[in-house]
Amino acid sequence: MPGHRATTDDGPPRPGRLRVPAYAAADIRAAEAPLLAAGVPLMARAAHALARITAARRVAASGPRVLVLAGRGDNGGDALFAGAELAAAGTGVDVVLVSAGAHEAGLAAAVSAGARVVDLSALDEPGIGLILDGMTGLGGGGPLRGGVRDAAVALRARRAPRPRILAVDLPSGLDPDTGAGDELVPVADETITFGGVKAGLVRGRGPVLSGPVTLVDIGLGPALATVTPVAEARVAAVISG
Q: Per the annotation, does 77 bind a ligand?
A: yes
In 71-218 the beta strands, taken as DSSP E runs, fall at: 93-97, 116-117, 128-134, 164-168, 190-194, 197-198, 213-217
Pairing of strands 128-134, 116-117: unpaired
Q: Per the annotation, does 41 bind a ligand?
A: no
How many Cα atoms are found within 13 Å in the side-chain-facing hemisphere of 110? Answer: 31
Would you call 72 helix, strand, or coil by DSSP?
A: coil
Crossing angle of helices 25-37/42-57, nearest 10°?
A: 120
Q: Per the annotation, does 137 bind a ligand?
A: yes
Q: Per the annotation, does 217 bind a ligand?
A: no
* Positive or negative torsion for Cα 220, 222, 227, 228: positive
Q: Per the annotation, does 138 bind a ligand?
A: yes
Q: Per the annotation, does 139 bind a ligand?
A: yes
Residues 144 and 152: beta-carbon distance below 8 Å: yes
Q: Per the annotation, does 39 bind a ligand?
A: no
User: Residues 6 or more apart from 106 whose CB is under 8 A from it?
Assistant: 47, 70, 76, 77, 78, 79, 80, 81, 84
C-alpha span between 161 and 123 (Å, rounded): 11
Q: Per the annotation, does 129 bind a ligand?
A: no
Q: Per the annotation, does 146 bind a ligand?
A: no
Q: Which residues are annotated as a binding site?
A: 74-78, 133, 137-143, 169, 172
Q: Which residues are annotated as a binding site for (6S)-NADPHX?
A: 74-78, 137-143, 169
Q: Which residues are annotated as a binding site for K(+)?
A: 75, 133, 172
